[in-house]
Amino acid sequence: MKKVKDKTIISLFMYSISTTAIVYQNYIFISNLLKNYRAFEWLCIKNEDDNIVHGDFFVCNEQENYVQFLLILGFIIQFLSGSIGSVLIKIFSKKIIAQAAFIFLFFGWIILGTALSYSKYYVDNNITNKISLVSFFLNLSFIFFGIGSDNSYLPIIYYINDRYPVEDIDKHLYIIENNNNNNNKLQKLKYILKNKNYILISTMSSLAVLSLFVGNVINITLKYLPFQNNVILVILTYLALCVIPAFFIANFLDDKTNTHKNDNQLVSEDNIQTNQDKNKINYINSVDDINNSSNNSINIQHIQHKLDNINYTEHVNEKTLLTKNLYNSGEKKEKEKNVQAASQNVVMDMGKDEIYEEHLKRRKKLFYLKDVDFGVLKDQIKSPLYIFILVEFFLITFSVCYFMFSLFDIYENNVFGETLNVYSLILPSSFIFTLIFGIIADVINISNFISFNLILGIFVYMLIYFYYTTANVTIGYISLVIYFFHQSFYANHMYMYMSTIFKQENFSILIGIINTFASLAFFMSYKIHEFIKIKNKNNVYPKAIAQGLFVSYLVVFFTHIFYIRRKMRYHMISLPSSK
């Protein structure tokens, strides 16, 4: 039953992530949605002769720029609120954070649907006095998406990382890797398939990508239901089928299936080292054994030995006196009950409650930021392995976001036709490749997996530079295909790296710091693209950005190959064995 329950909970989490996680991040979906409901077309009316772009996807550059602003607003708030949520999980619980996030997602979609309906109505009827109110609510909806997205998704990742920690198979993998055995890859796969952490985190991250497909479903449904206020009805249906169920599924984040342990296990989790505490626990266990076998005779000498090891003199005297009276009375059966009752009282007096109170305090302290070991955290942040993933993820975040904003510039409608609409439909299928590579990441080694993804990034911007130079359509298509795979591994490789290198210790805080820097990368990519597209329309800058990203990828790649790989190998080999 326990296994069935665990599998059911994991399946429900999969449904929750695959339908709610990052729906709004589908740039092509959001662009089509806002354009079809004429959002921000009023920005094009002010100076029509200068900013109308004929034959382009958007009506004008200002409309395109504001749609990108909404996305970047959501991204930045998502990553910052995710960082804050990572800390709040220490204070509250995963369930509370996740359910609060789903409430934000719920109202975000309600506000978006209502604002879009009014946007189309006002522009169609040339009503301008309410436009500012519509703009406000469109902004508010993306703020809510940003708050809700990571905080609905990351608690599940943390749950997986806590519930199914990385097994200590790293040494085995490196031993196998260094053996001259033709079957070493198969043996590595055998070990990895035992590692639920890798498999589940990879699966959850992959399914987050699948949620991008929800946007395509919404757009297709709106296309085939062309009645007034259809957007409100479609969004309400989505909420009823996906967001509301996900809210209730979050109750399982506080599931206690594996926490029902005996007293000795519970206290040992806190690594109680004093002999006095150990003796207390031994005595408690001996009394529990007596209570559970009341039909058997009581081993008085065994209990007496346990009592002698505990530094509570008055309780020892009390127990000894009861034992002596037992043998002198001749009424053994009657006295056995008294001994059991007295033993239980002795346990209570000796500090059983005190032990449990201390234990509960220790467990509660784990949820408070003030109890984080900042010495360990400081060492982790200063370590080359953490600095590397911080810089690497910053670079990939910037490049992925910048490329996304450049999609309509590079793959123009008059050259590439409906390529981007097809790409939008195919994009969610990248979860398959994310999942496969996530599961076999340690067969090819997580380090090799990162190297592979960096190579993809190098080729993307090398090809983009050549496309800007030659305007060769074939090169453009190839770059889009490679970008498809590169962005597929965007988030999932970072989570797998972190769960492997840093395991559970300060996991959420370290992820929060990375997300904070990633939000800065989002903002920088938006401002640079805005500068190039609107404020300085010069074809030299896109080439310069492509060159700069190409060189940055090369630097990070060679740093990883010649320095970080060696550090990772040493770190994994030196990991302490599990007890």
pLDDT tens digits along 164-216: 776 555 555 555 555 545 556 666 666 666 667 767 877 787 788 788 888 88
* Domain assignment present for 277: no
Q: Give the model's pLDDT for residue 265.
A: 38
Give yes or no for residue 111 having a pLDDT over 90.
yes
- pLDDT tens for 402-453 read 888 888 777 766 667 677 778 877 877 777 777 777 666 666 777 888 898 8
Reading the block at residue 570, the tokens are 């040493």
d(CA 461, CA 201): 29
Q: Are residues 373 and 230 located together in one domain of the fold? A: no
Give yes or no for residue 352 having a pLDDT over 90.
no
Q: Are residues 3 and 152 located together in one domain of the fold? A: yes
* Domain assignment present for 33: yes
Tell me which residue of 322, 328, 330 sits closest to 300, measured CA to CA. 322
Q: Are residues 546 and 411 located together in one domain of the fold? A: yes
pLDDT band at 559 (very low <50, low <70, confident <90, very high): very high
- Kindly state the helix (H) or strand (E) to which residue 91 belongs, with its residue range: helix 61-91
* Domain assignment present for 173: no
* Domain assignment present for 294: no
Last-in-domain residue among 233, 254, 275: 254
Q: Give the model's pLDDT for residue 373.
A: 72
Distance of CA 381 to the CA centre of its chain: 19
Looking at residue 473, which CATH number applies to its domain? 1.20.1250.20
- pLDDT tens for 12-42 read 999 999 899 888 888 888 988 998 898 888 8
Q: Are residues 241 and 384 located together in one domain of the fold? A: no
Burial status of residue 103 (CB atoms within 10 A of its CB: 0-12, 13-18, 19 or more)? middle
Q: Give the model's pLDDT for residue 496.
A: 75
d(CA 84, CA 78): 10
Q: Are residues 250 and 372 located together in one domain of the fold? A: no
* Token pair 């085939």 in the structure block, residue: 224
pLDDT band at 550 (very low <50, low <70, confident <90, very high): very high
Reading the block at residue 45, the tokens are 């009316």
Range of the domain at 517: 368-572
* Domain assignment present for 556: yes
Q: Give the model's pLDDT for residue 285.
A: 46
Q: Are residues 393 and 538 located together in one domain of the fold? A: yes
pLDDT band at 310 (very low <50, low <70, confident <90, very high): very low
DSSP state for residue 110 in the 8-state scheme: H
* Domain assignment present for 104: yes
Last-in-domain residue among 225, 254, 283: 254
Burial status of residue 288 (CB atoms within 10 A of its CB: 0-12, 13-18, 19 or more)? middle
Q: Give the model's pLDDT for residue 288.
A: 44
Q: Which amino acid is at 33?
A: L
Helices within 293-418 (DSSP H only) = 300-308, 313-329, 332-350, 352-365, 374-382, 384-405, 407-410, 413-416
Most confident of 240-244, 316-320, 439-443, 531-535: 240-244
pLDDT above 90 covers a percentage of the chain that reads 20
Last-in-domain residue among 238, 254, 270: 254
How many structural domains does the chain have? Answer: 2
In angstroms, the first-to-last Cα distance of the chain is 28
- Classify 1 as helix, strand or coil: coil
**348 or 431, which is more confident?**
431
pLDDT band at 500 (very low <50, low <70, confident <90, very high): confident
* Domain assignment present for 240: yes
State the greatest distance between any 2 C-alpha atoms of the chain, in Å, as a whole number.
111
d(CA 312, CA 318): 10
Least confident of 148-157, 288-297, 329-338, 449-458: 288-297
Reading the block at residue 83, the tokens are 């960082």
Reading the block at residue 223, the tokens are 């296309």
- pLDDT tens for 57-83 read 778 888 888 998 998 899 889 888 887
Q: Are residues 3 and 149 located together in one domain of the fold? A: yes
* Domain assignment present for 521: yes
- Kindly state the helix (H) or strand (E) to which residue 522 belongs, with its residue range: helix 507-530
pLDDT band at 147 (very low <50, low <70, confident <90, very high): very high
Tell me which residue of 56, 71, 77 sits closest to 26, measured CA to CA. 71
pLDDT band at 141 (very low <50, low <70, confident <90, very high): very high
Alpha-carbon dihedral 365, 370, 375, 378, rounded to 10 degrees: 120
- Kindly state the helix (H) or strand (E) to which residue 27 belongs, with its residue range: helix 27-36
Q: In the predicted model, what is the mean pLDDT of residues 226-248?
A: 91
